[in-house]
Amino acid sequence: MIESFRDLLNAGFGVKTLDIKEINDLYNTICNEEPIEEMIRNHCAYYLKKPDFVDIQTITKGNSYQVDKTDFAKQILKAENPFDIINQMPCTLKLAGLQVTSPAIKSFLRAVYKKFKISIFSNMYISPPGDTQGYTYHVDPHKVFMIHLRGVKR
């Protein structure tokens, strides 16, 4: 069991499963479809009010894909299910700054900070089914804590 950030570093890099009770309980409250739909809506609503604090980005095959972010956010807020809009996109959607727009993510990240004493920024990436590869292969210059919910990451 990993008890500290040092333990995490000593465990090496790659895919690791963390079994941390107080964090797992928070994880279970944010990692199913209903809270994710709410996070998407809240993020888009916040973006329309304060676009300098959070962002909406679209990426395909490593390049920016141009969409009108304001129009996209409005479409998401009007849709009965945000995935009806997102699944039609030919690109990966990135919602940057979820720690600002989602109380559940903020609580989760506070628990991670309390446990490991590291600050984390939170982004959500959604790639619709099909050939919608967002980023090309790359190595991040920083540590990444990733929660992969479903699908295949190439």
Q: What is the pLDDT of residues 14-38, one digit of tens each?
A: 555 555 555 566 666 666 667 888 8
pTM (2 d.p.): 0.74
Q: How far apart (Å, rounded) are the C-alpha atoms in residues 146 and 55?
A: 19
The average confidence (pLDDT) of the chain is 78
Domain boundaries, the chain: 5-126
Q: How far apart (Å, rounded) are the C-alpha atoms in residues 12 and 153?
A: 21
Report percent pLDDT > 90 for the chain.
21
- CB-based contacts of 81, cutoff 8 Å, min separation 6: 37
